[in-house]
């Protein structure tokens, strides 16, 4: 049921006042003998007054600072008073917002990191002095320009153009190539984005120095290790039964095992140093993953010595674009970890399959499992969930760190699911642009034919 319209008290008073004025004019007109003319004249004067107030109101809307609202009575006086009060509240609100904006700008100007506010199309709306220095922005010339047209770095362009802004990207400064910057984009509001820029040059130099130290130290350790193994090779015949060094047989066997473990550690350190150096080989080979996994299966069986059930489920036509050594490191490290940390009689399932999102490699075991608090740190260098067991099985603590960096070069991601006493599943996911299947080759042959 429609709600009945009820006039406001102001409108009621205005109508009553107008009616009284018209009635008074009609009485005066009746007295002088022209009642109709007097009534029309009164209505005309009232209409002219309303039009005058309406014109002043229209001019005030166009220029509120230059045009003054007239002093009026009745409903027009209430309208004018309400507008003036609204104007005062808006001015107070503007002053408050201006103070907040000034405080925000002052705080961001004190930040050592650059801050750039971007519009829906990536256009620059505002930036602080740190961003001006780090990115070489100019005020006011660069306001309104797209940030992607000013920071022409492939890594930043790729990061800016995608919808997922998780993490950050590092690349050289557009002003000074020796300065390394870290970019992070934070979406907010209605399509706006906040770009945070940090100078990470010192951290980058320290990281480079650390990698160089590890690589150089590993190379230097190879020489004394080679000498040690050489002497062990010479002494080994004499340590056999009946030899002059027979009583040293057990210590020499332990020395040889520790030398082999040290050599494995050095090799892993060198491999990790190469991966962390981000030296990307532009050549991408089409890898025969099933053949690589066949080699991995043989290595796993040799390592297990029949103590585990190892099942491989491989999609025979699924290939991958990448580099052989890095991809093989991923497969070998994950499978060997499963063998090491799965008790005798356990089951290890290895899968290689593809779907609409790309290709996937998983290793699931029924081993000791990993606690939830340890999962985020598994890919750290030398981090061991069970240090004693890792050392006893010859682990170096670098395997998963190598997997992590190798996957970064392959545009892949590593996910880990585990439960104590139940087992662990490692899954590597590779994007669709790195996948090549037999059906694709058949389609290519058909199109060429």
Is position 188 within any domain? yes
pTM, 2 dp: 0.49
Claim to verify: residue 322 and residue 297 sit in the same structural domain: yes
Claim to verify: residue 237 and residue 180 sit in the same structural domain: no
Claim to verify: residue 306 and residue 426 sit in the same structural domain: yes
Number of domains present in the structure of the chain: 3
How far apart, in Å, are the Cα atoms of 11 and each of 16, 62, 83, 137, 153?
A: 9, 26, 17, 58, 66
Residue with structure tokens 């796993």? 300
Claim to verify: residue 307 and residue 406 sit in the same structural domain: yes
Is position 161 within any domain? yes
36 pLDDT higher than 90: no
Which range, of 251-255, 308-312, 348-352, averages the lowest pLDDT?
251-255
Look at residues 162, 178, 199 and tell me which one is the last residue of a structural domain.
199
Spatial separation of the C-alpha atoms in residues 145 and 122, rounded to whole Å: 8
Is position 178 within any domain? yes
CA 31 to chain centre: 88
How far apart, in Å, are the Cα atoms of 216 and each of 204, 211, 286?
A: 18, 8, 32
Q: What is the CATH number of the domain that holds 208?
A: 1.10.287.130
Q: What is the CATH number of the domain that holds 297?
A: 3.30.565.10
41 pLDDT higher than 80: yes
For the residues 65-87, what does the mean pLDDT come to? 78
**Predicted pLDDT of residue 3:** 59
Q: What is the CATH number of the domain that holds 158?
A: 3.30.450.20
Look at residues 246, 276, 306 and tell me which one is the last residue of a structural domain.
276
Look at residues 250, 276, 302 and tell me which one is the last residue of a structural domain.
276
273 pLDDT higher than 80: no
Is position 259 within any domain? yes
Is position 236 within any domain? yes
Claim to verify: residue 292 and residue 422 sit in the same structural domain: yes
Which range, of 3-7, 191-195, 239-243, 295-299, averages the lowest pLDDT?
3-7
| Cα angle: 376, vertex 379, 382; to 5 degrees | 115
Claim to verify: residue 189 and residue 254 sit in the same structural domain: no
Claim to verify: residue 239 and residue 361 sit in the same structural domain: no
Claim to verify: residue 296 and residue 431 sit in the same structural domain: yes
Spatial separation of the C-alpha atoms in residues 236 and 293, rounded to whole Å: 36
Give the number of other Cβ atoms within 10 Å of residue 440's Cβ.
12
Residues in the chain: 449
Spatial separation of the C-alpha atoms in residues 60 and 69, rounded to whole Å: 7
Q: 60: Cβ–Cβ under 8 A, 6 or more apart, which residues?
A: 67, 68, 69, 83
**Predicted pLDDT of residue 442:** 43
pLDDT tens readout for residues 85-104: 888 888 888 888 877 767 76
150 pLDDT higher than 50: yes
Greater model confidence, 256 or 386: 256
**Could you tell me the residue range of the domain that residue 239 belongs to?**
203-276
Is position 239 within any domain? yes
**Predicted pLDDT of residue 351:** 93
pLDDT tens readout for residues 410-442: 888 888 898 888 888 999 999 888 888 765 444
Is position 22 within any domain? no
Spatial separation of the C-alpha atoms in residues 56 and 262, rounded to whole Å: 92
Claim to verify: residue 295 and residue 373 sit in the same structural domain: yes
**Predicted pLDDT of residue 120:** 86
230 pLDDT higher than 50: yes
Spatial separation of the C-alpha atoms in residues 378 and 402, rounded to whole Å: 11
For the residues 176-196, what does the mean pLDDT come to? 85
Is position 90 within any domain? no
pLDDT tens readout for residues 216-225: 666 666 667 7
Which range, of 24-33, 207-216, 295-304, 428-437, averages the lowest pLDDT?
207-216
Claim to verify: residue 342 and residue 429 sit in the same structural domain: yes
Secondary structure percentages of the chain, helix, strand, coil, to 5: 55, 20, 25
Claim to verify: residue 131 and residue 189 sit in the same structural domain: yes
Strands 124-127, 114-118: pairing is: antiparallel
**Predicted pLDDT of residue 449:** 33
For the residues 68-77, what does the mean pLDDT come to? 76
403 is written with which tokens? 């997997």
351 is written with which tokens? 């899968």
Claim to verify: residue 193 and residue 229 sit in the same structural domain: no
């Amino acid at each position: 049921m429609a709600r009945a319209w009820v006039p406001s008290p102001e409108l009621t008073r205005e109508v009553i006042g107008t009616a009284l004025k018209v009635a008074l004019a009609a009485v005066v007109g009746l007295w002088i003998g022209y009642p109709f003319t007097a009534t029309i004249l009164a209505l005309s004067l009232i209409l002219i007054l309303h039009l005058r107030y309406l014109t002043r109101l229209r001019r005030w809307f166009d220029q509120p600072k230059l045009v003054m609202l007239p002093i009026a009575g009745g409903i027009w006086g209430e309208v004018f008073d309400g507008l003036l009060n609204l104007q005062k509240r808006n001015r107070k609100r503007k002053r408050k917002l201006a103070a907040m904006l000034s405080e925000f700008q002052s705080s961001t100007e004190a930040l050592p990191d650059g801050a750039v506010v971007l519009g829906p199309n990536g256009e620059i709306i505002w930036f602080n002095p740190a961003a001006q220095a780090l990115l070489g922005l100019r005020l006011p010339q660069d306001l309104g320009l797209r940030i992607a047209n000013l920071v022409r770095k492939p890594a930043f362009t790729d990061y800016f153009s995608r919808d997922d802004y998780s993490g950050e990207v590092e690349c050289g400064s557009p002003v000074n190539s020796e300065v390394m910057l870290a970019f992070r984009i934070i979406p907010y509001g209605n399509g706006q984005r906040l770009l945070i820029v940090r100078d990470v040059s010192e951290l980058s130099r320290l990281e480079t120095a650390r990698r160089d130290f590890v690589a150089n130290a590993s190379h230097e350790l190879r020489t004394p290790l080679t000498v040690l193994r050489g002497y062990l090779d010479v002494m080994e015949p004499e340590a056999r039964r009946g030899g002059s060094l027979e009583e040293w047989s057990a210590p020499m066997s332990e020395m040889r095992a520790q030398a082999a473990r040290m050599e494995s550690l050095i090799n892993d350190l060198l491999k990790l140093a190469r991966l962390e150096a981000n030296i990307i080989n532009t050549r991408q080979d089409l890898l025969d993953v099933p053949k690589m996994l066949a080699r991995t299966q043989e290595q796993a069986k040799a390592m297990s010595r029949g103590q585990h059930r190892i099942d491989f489920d491989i999609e025979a036509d699924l290939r991958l674009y990448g580099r052989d050594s890095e991809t093989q490191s991923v497969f070998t490290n994950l499978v060997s970890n499963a063998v090491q940390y799965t008790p005798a009689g356990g089951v290890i399932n290895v899968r290689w399959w593809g779907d609409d999102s790309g290709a996937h490699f998983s290793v699931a075991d029924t081993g000791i499992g990993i606690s939830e608090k340890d999962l985020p740190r598994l890919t750290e260098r030398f981090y061991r969930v069970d240090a004693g067991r890792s050392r006893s099985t010859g682990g170096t603590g670098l395997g998963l760190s190598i997997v992590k960096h190798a996957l970064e070069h392959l545009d892949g991601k590593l996910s880990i699911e585990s439960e104590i006493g139940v087992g662990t599943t490692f899954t590597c996911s590779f994007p669709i642009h790195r996948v090549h299947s037999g059906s694709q080759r058949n389609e290519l042959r058909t199109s060429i034919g």
